[in-house]
A = this chain, B = another copy of it.
Amino acid sequence: MSLIVQKFGGSSVADAESIKRVAKRIVETRKAGNDVVVVVSAMGDTTDELLDLAHQVTPVPAPRELDMLLTSGERISMALLAMAIKGMGVEARSYTGSQAGMITDERHGSARITEVTPKRITEAVADGAIAIVAGFQGFNRATGDITTLGRGGSDTTAVALAAAMDADICEIYTDVDGVFTADPRVVPNARKIDRITSEEMVELAAVGAKVLYIRAVEFARRHNVPIHVRSSFSNHEGTIVSNQSGDPVEQPVVSGVATDLSEAKITVVGVPDVPGKAAEIFTIVAGTNASIDMIVQNVSAAATGLTDISFTLPKGDAAAVLAALGATQERVGFVALQHDDQIAKVSVVGAGMRTNAGVSARLFTALSEAGINIEMITTSEIRISVVTRADTAADAARAIHTAFGLDADVEAIVYGGTGR
């Protein structure tokens, strides 16, 4: 008998019909002879609607109260799911994050799991019941208060529970068939990946593949939890994400291509090329809490003694950074600020890069042959990312996808959502 943790996102439980469909699926897993623990997100747009209400009431809602408010969302979906399963004659009980022993630090809105003590969940499973656990939420022991885990929190809850209970597999149900070699809406020949290493998945998630949240994958990698990403709309096998890479002979050089249009680029033009200027600039930037991604500093022009520093960051963070830098222009001594929100980041990820020379050469050749200009480059051990114009991103992804032999024979079927 296997212990399976199944996680269903908000789009899988958007209304009463979907909840009944998901309940049926859970019951089938149970009847196939497995112990089942389910983690569920809030229904459909509930979280956004609650956030709206909060902002109608006060411009800056208190974080403790916002967490109290938002956690009502999973309370609704988990209770409905449990009663739907019980209605099908199978024992099921729902548990809040606190009842399930998801202990966190006290950072409201972005709490970190510090401990998982799933005593009641283990007991429920031992009783033969299906345990339905609220995703996204936890409990801080010091304050006695309810917390939330932030974006992708339900994935993290599922993986953390699977780790604590030593589950055989953590199934993440979504509205796509698994992890693809590229976003099928951008690259029609994208292929579903059958197996991928956690390490590669972390990199893919980091560069914009939205099917899994990086935090959950990172947790799974550290705790050696195998994940099965699969569709809640079909019974197809999805993608297995695990620390075992499978047969190394079979392993492709590149596992996938990701496209990210969410970043903007800021260039600080004409920075005096003296020690400490970059530190000064990024101290100012850090003061705005912006998340900086790529950084490039040009070689200084000998004639002027000035250099340019460019960096990318989420589009939403740009205004604050521009304001902060603008206010210190005189002190730092740069010439001008440029803001560009028409960029795309295209990345290739593959554990095979480590043992394969010439990956970047093949990448740059493919882009050059497609007539696409590269503006910035960063690399990690198993990833290469380039910044291009936003309107060439799809062409770039397709060219790279073909160049690395990822194309499928048939076009992928594209579903509606983005797989939260």
Residues on A close to B: CB < 8 A? 16, 19-20, 23, 50, 53-54, 56-62, 64-66, 68-69, 71-73, 75-76, 78-80, 82-84, 86-87, 92-94, 96, 99, 120, 144
Contacts and interface: CB of A to CB of B under 8 A. Distances in A.
Contacts of A99: 144
Contact of A75 (B20, B57, B61, B75): B75
Chain A contact residues: helix, strand, loop or mixed: helix
Contact of A58 (B72, B86, B93): B86
Given A75-B75, A99-B144, A144-B120, A54 B68 contact: no
Contacts of A72: 72-73, 75-76, 79
A144 to B, nearest CB: 7
Given A62-B83, A83-B62, A68 B78 contact: yes
B68 A75 contact: yes
Contact of A84 (B50, B58, B80): B58
A392 B46 CA distance: 48
A106 to B, nearest CB: 14
Given A87-B58, A87-B59, A144-B99, A65 B53 contact: no
As for how many copies of this chain the complex holds, the number is: 2
A159 B16 CA distance: 36
A75 B86 contact: no
A50 B76 CA distance: 8
A307 B20 CA distance: 53
A54 B83 contact: yes
B75 A93 contact: no
A43 to B, nearest CB: 9
Could you say which of A60, A68, A72 has the most chain B C-beta atoms within 10 Å of its C-beta? A68
Contact of A79 (B20, B68, B76): B68
A398 to B, nearest CB: 44
Nearest to A17: B56
Nearest to A19: B57
B75 A62 contact: no
A76 B69 CA distance: 5
A62 B76 contact: no
